[in-house]
Chain A
Amino acid sequence: MEIDFQGSLQTGFFTSRMDKMLGWARKYSIFQYPFVTACCGMEYMSTASSHYDIDRFGAGLPRFSPRQADVLFVVGTISQKLAPVLVQIYEQMCAPKWVVAFGVCTCTGGFYDNYATVTGIDHIVPVDIYIPGCPPRPETVLEGLMLLQTKMQNQKQEL
């Protein structure tokens, strides 16, 4: 999250307005790639459905190809066997891209600290937003999504 003071002093008005506009556009049109593995998937399905609607945030359409998505929702425990697949998917996404660690298994491993799990996906991909909970309630997910939107808005936008 950088606020470009130098830039706005030098080139001034246009860059900061462009940044704000791009940030606004990006945050309200999130194309998510839901990488769903485990129990958190059920809460993801609840969040995406009519009760706790994620569509009103502009994030309603999941794109099922990593080339077409910009936010990677990693939902559920990642095992050691699956980790190379996750990294491959992350690398296939085009910039700008963000990663949301959904559920405590992806944040820190949860209570699955054993030979078969990756304790936290930040060991293998860079993470922007952590949503803890086992599984997190849909309201928590929506708050995480709003934090992601704030982050997208305030970031220095690259073209």
Chain B
Amino acid sequence: MFLNVGPAHPATHGVIQIQTELDGEIVRKADIQIGYLHRAFEKHCEESTYTQCFPYTDRLNYVSPLISNFGFAAAVETLMDLKVPERCNYIRVILSEISRLTDHLTCIGASAMELGAFSVFLYMVKAREWLYELIESVTGARLTISYGRVGGVKADLPEGFETECRAALKKTREVLKEVDELLTGNRIFYDRMRGVGVISAEEAIAYGITGPFLRSTGEAYDVRKAFPYFVYDRFEFDVPVGEHGDNYSRYLVRMEEMQQSIRIIEQALDGLPEGPTNVDPEGKIIEPDVMADLGKFGKTSGLLKNEVLIPPTLQGSEKRYHDRVAAPSKEASLPAKEQVYSNIEALMNHFKIIMLGHGLRPPEGEVYFPVEGANGELGFYIVSDGTDRPWRVRCHPPCFPIMAALGSILEGDQMADIVPTFGSVNMIAGELDR
């Protein structure tokens, strides 16, 4: 019998079509159709400047957008050979791990909901809300943040971030403990997930699968350990590895990865370097239009020592914090807004970076930069032709090979097993179809 588990299905998270040939309850063949969320990310990036690409990268993996942002930023920085300040690397690690937490929380919550454990979903989303509040205090938005910039991040962490972060992580740990008690030993959950959706390590490697899906089969490959980037080599964390390669192993691997992420964030908060702080000796603050008027009337004595009042949306990127979050490079980083409003060199620098046709121009060449996304190795392959727009941007989505293998994984399982297997794949359609 031919059954279509169509694009609009209650239990599939994301738009996917699985055309199954059934023999009673057993799936004989499963053909997966993707592409229902193809939004032409790569084509859009070819006609946008590098900084304009960041909002498109947010919407790739929309449950852990910070990882995609920082991956793209790091790829362009490799191309331009930029050194990012140390504090900025720590900030990137902290926010990437918070993003990984939100991704795993959503994945386990949604797949538990499909099996009937609705309270687990509500607990996970409750924990996710605390993390969204943290992210919002840093970046200004909950989900689509556009926080990364080539050469650093947009703004520094706000006051009191560390206390709030630690409190949120403590509450998240308690939620994880509750969910563990609800699900891990649960007879129904165990029976539905154990022995279902099995894949062997050789098959996973043949398909090019990475991430928790691969690690649940026994092969320990994690980009953070194999090719360390940012400052991951300074932290102690374990990479959880499963044994059987089935849905239950993937659930356990993800739960343990969340614990390790919390561990990394706590170590990063302990070791967060202060970085340089530029404070003016006479820090008088005036409005930018008042400063411009004074300058026009010729009353320029002492004007350069004033600090300009910049709008609240730019908080965190003032002159004081500028060197902590932006690389010391005239070609890539926007100068501090106070400087832009007060002297002509900074204004010209700003102009050269922003205007179309000028802008951030990496040298000709190509680079492939892999980061550890929540689903596996997220790679950005950027080809630059020397102008301010990339010639080609390719995002290697970690769930693409997993979906390619899903057809053969589902063969032999029963119809009702499609739901938990698909849930444990954690397919994010934005990333898969780009």
Contact = CB atoms under 8 A, between A and B. Distances in A.
Direct chain A–B contact by Cβ atoms under 8 Å: yes
Interface of A: 35-39, 41-43, 45-46, 49-51, 62, 64, 76-77, 79, 81-82, 85-86, 89, 111-112, 114-117, 134-135, 137
Contact of A85 (B8, B63, B142): B8
25 contacts: A35-B8, A36-B14, A37-B14, A38-B62, A39-B430, A45-B125, A46-B129, A49-B121, A49-B129, A51-B129, A64-B10, A76-B37, A77-B37, A79-B36, A79-B37, A79-B39, A81-B36, A85-B6, A85-B36, A111-B55, A115-B43, A116-B39, A117-B40, A135-B144, A137-B142
A49 B144 contact: no
B59 interface: yes
Grouping DSSP codes into helix (H, G, I), strand (E, B) and loop, the A interface class, with mixed when no group exceeds half, is: loop
A46 B125 contact: yes
Interface string B40-59: 10011000000000010001
B341 to A, nearest CB: 29
Which 6 A-B residue pairs are closest in the complex by CB-CB distance? A64-B10, A39-B62, A49-B125, A114-B40, A51-B129, A82-B36
B38 A42 contact: no
A43 B63 CA distance: 10
Contacts of A115: 40, 43
Contacts of B59: 38-39
B365 interface: no
A49 B126 contact: yes
Contacts of B62: 38-39, 42
B427 interface: no
A37 B429 contact: yes
B423 to A, nearest CB: 14
B99 interface: no
Interface of B: 6-8, 10, 13-15, 35-40, 43-44, 55, 59, 62-63, 106, 110, 121-122, 125-126, 128-129, 132, 142-144, 429-430, 433
Contacts, number: 89
Contact of B39 (A43, A89, A114, A134): A114
Contacts of A39: 59, 62, 143-144, 430
Nearest to B52: A111
B15 A82 contact: yes
A117 B125 contact: no
A64 B6 CA distance: 13
A80 B129 CA distance: 33
Nearest to B433: A79
A49 B122 contact: yes
In terms of DSSP, what is the predominant structure of the interface of chain B?
loop
Nearest to A50: B122
Contacts of B429: 37-38
Contacts of B14: 36-37, 41
Contacts of B35: 79, 81
Contacts of B38: 79, 81, 116
A79 B128 CA distance: 28
A137 B44 CA distance: 25
Contacts of B8: 35, 85-86, 89
B40 A116 contact: yes
A119 B49 CA distance: 23
A35 B6 CA distance: 12
B44 A42 contact: no
B143 A114 contact: no
Nearest to A134: B144
Nearest to B60: A39
A117 B39 contact: yes
Nearest to B126: A50
B277 to A, nearest CB: 33
Nearest to A76: B37
Nearest to B9: A64
Contacts of B7: 82, 85
Most buried by A among B44, B122, B125: B125
A158 B126 CA distance: 40
Contacts of B126: 49-51
Given A112-B40, A114-B43, A114-B44, A42 B55 contact: no
Contacts of A77: 37, 39
Nearest to A84: B7
Contact of B37 (A37, A42, A89): A37
B358 to A, nearest CB: 22
A49 B128 CA distance: 11
A88 to B, nearest CB: 9
B49 to A, nearest CB: 14
A41 B62 CA distance: 9
Contacts of B430: 38-39
A42 B10 CA distance: 15
A76 B36 CA distance: 11
Contacts of B55: 111
A77 B37 CA distance: 7
A46 B37 contact: no
